[in-house]
Each structure stands twice: as C-alpha cells, then as structure tokens.
Chains A and B, each alone.
Chain A
C-alpha cells in the first residue's frame, strides 16, 4: 500500500505574473520547452492582440484562481460544525452560504454532501475532472488520473485504503460521480475530542482530501 502523502490544504502559491512581453519563462529556462507550451504562449498572445482579453485580464484571471484554495472549503465545514443554522444553509445552498461569510463560490452550483455516522461520501468525475474549483481551487493531479476515475466507482474502498482510509462495513460508502452541472464537496463529521476547539483550529484539520472524501479529518 502506498503511503499517502501530504494533503496540505495550502494553496499552490502565488501566481507568476505572466508577462505579455515574450520573455522566456524563468521556470523553464533550463528545461526544453514543449510544443504545447509554445502553442499556449502563442495562443494567449494572439488572443490579447485580437482584444479577446487583455494581458491584465489574463493576469487577473490567474490571480483569482490562485486565491481559491481548500482553506475556503475548510472554513465552511468548520462553521457548519459549530453553527447548526449555518449547516442548514450549507445543506441548502453552498454558494449562498459561502458568500454569506465573504467567501466567493462562483456561479456553478455546489452541493454539500454531509457525512453521518453510517454514511461517508466521496466524489469523482469519471468523464473528465469536474471539481468545485471556483470554491476550493484546482484539483490534485490524482483526482484527474485515469486510475482514480476508473477505480473510484467500482472499487471505492480499495482506493480509499490507498489513501489510508478504512470504513466499517456498516457504513455506507456513497460515491458521487459529478456528471452534470452540479459540483460537490464533502462535509465530514466533526471528530471526537474537538469540543473545546475554535473554528480556526477546526478548519485546520479539514484538508483538501477531506473535502473530496478520500481521507477523514485527523485530530
């Protein structure tokens, strides 16, 4: 069994302002550039020249995506754990709940999947890579992999075991394939032993992988 690695809920770091001037990209200066890197550069440059969008808008778009991290999802879960009214709102409408505490969630509807003592949820997109990215940022590479997309629907417990997560047989493992316009995020159960914790501390144990459902919050 592979050891899980760190499923940090930190973001992916600051955006590099991708300069419209065609300077060589510093990150690949010592590496061969690929056909598609060239194509992507040329594409962006052409679209800017044609005023489809501006260089500033392109930069801003990257920055906006970078501000979306799993920490935003963790805040929603932590708030739901301490505030039953907020939990009810989250259950009805994640986007509205997020906006109500100043977290942008975008315009694609997101639905919260609440775990319960006899129910654990996990999400996948077998057809592509649908993910609540406008709330919690870009998905991990493994979520988009052929292996995850193939096996999560057919042998979910084996896949969860690879992530170090074991569930008893009397807990329903509910896999959600995001095939349509809704996106999903898992709201795990609040672990025992956290009664005295404040929201900030609670949010720290809700990682990106918990929001996908492949791991449970660890105290």
Chain B
C-alpha cells in the first residue's frame, strides 16, 4: 500500500546530517509570516501541513525547509483569496528588480 512521501518513519536513510544551521533572516521572517497568518486565522497548522505534503515528492525533496513553507503558505493564501497570482507576480518582479539593482550599485 502506498506510503505518502513525507511519511518517513522507518525508511532506510544515511547518517543524520549534524551540521548546525544558523537561521537566515529571510527564514525567520517566513516563520513569522506563517505564525502571524495562523494567529489571524487565515489557516490552521493542519492546513499548512497538508499544503506542504501536497507539494509532492519531487518538490518536497528539492526544496529546503523554509522554501517548502514559503511555497505552502503562498498556495494557501492564493487558494483562500487573501492574495492573487497577479499581484504576487507583480510584487515578486519588483522585488527581484530592486535586489538586482541594489547588487549592481
């Protein structure tokens, strides 16, 4: 019977990668965004977990932990019509333009 991809308990795996990870500011910000959205009742922890799990095997493995959170939170907020694809896309383009511009200074 099929095991869902994220349901890892009992599978074979290598040594536990023990390198410490210092949380980057963008990760802490993403964590805080998630926390505040949950506090505001925009979605439950369960919906977030479901959204992460539904990213599916390829994406789940490819993305880092907070990248998964970002993708999952974004999907939830789009589904719940808190944000639209159009405005998100425009804002992302603007952010990228500014960051690229800032780097070139």
Contact call A43/B74, Cβ cutoff below 8 A: yes
* CB-CB under 8 A for A150 and B74, given A24-B98, A138-B23, A140-B21: no
Q: Does A204 reach chain B (CB closer than 8 Å)? A: no
Question: Told that A52-B36, A141-B21, A142-B17 touch, could you supply 15 new A-B pairs with CB distance under 8 A?
Answer: A2-B15, A2-B18, A28-B26, A39-B70, A42-B88, A43-B73, A44-B33, A45-B91, A52-B82, A61-B35, A128-B49, A142-B19, A150-B11, A151-B16, A153-B10
Contact call B37/A52, Cβ cutoff below 8 A: yes
Contact call A147/B92, Cβ cutoff below 8 A: no
Chain A residues touching B, range? 35 or more
Contact call A43/B88, Cβ cutoff below 8 A: yes
Q: Does A182 reach chain B (CB closer than 8 Å)? A: no
Give chain B's interface secondary structure class: helix
Chain B residues touching A, range? 35 or more
A16 to B83, CA, bound (A): 26
A15 to B22, CA, bound (A): 12
Kindly identify, within residues 10 to 47 of chain A, every residue whose CB is under 8 Å from any CB belonging to chain B.
Answer: 12-13, 15-16, 18, 22-25, 27-29, 33-34, 36-47
Give chain A's interface secondary structure class: helix
Contact call A58/B29, Cβ cutoff below 8 A: yes
Contact call A142/B65, Cβ cutoff below 8 A: no
Shortest B10–chain A CB gap in Å is 5
Q: Does A89 reach chain B (CB closer than 8 Å)? A: no
With a CB–CB cut-off of 8 A, which chain B residues contact A163?
16, 18
A46 to B36, CA, bound (A): 14
* CB-CB under 8 A for A40 and B13, given A65-B28, A141-B20: no
Contact call B74/A147, Cβ cutoff below 8 A: no
Q: Does A127 reach chain B (CB closer than 8 Å)? A: yes
Contact call B8/A126, Cβ cutoff below 8 A: yes
Contact call B26/A150, Cβ cutoff below 8 A: no
Contact call A6/B95, Cβ cutoff below 8 A: no
Which residues of A does B touch, CB under 8 Å?
2, 4-6, 12-13, 15-16, 18, 22-25, 27-29, 33-34, 36-47, 50, 52-53, 57-58, 61-62, 65-66, 126-129, 138, 140-142, 144-151, 153-154, 159, 162-163, 177
What is the chain A residue whose CB lies nearest that of B73?
Answer: A43
With a CB–CB cut-off of 8 A, which chain B residues contact A27?
24-25
Shortest B52–chain A CB gap in Å is 7
Most chain A beta-carbon neighbours within 10 Å: one of B49, B65, B70? B70
* CB-CB under 8 A for A40 and B9, given A29-B103, A52-B36, A147-B16: no
Q: Does B1 reach chain A (CB closer than 8 Å)? A: no
Contact call B18/A65, Cβ cutoff below 8 A: no
Most chain B beta-carbon neighbours within 10 Å: one of A144, A146, A177? A146
A44 to B72, CA, bound (A): 14
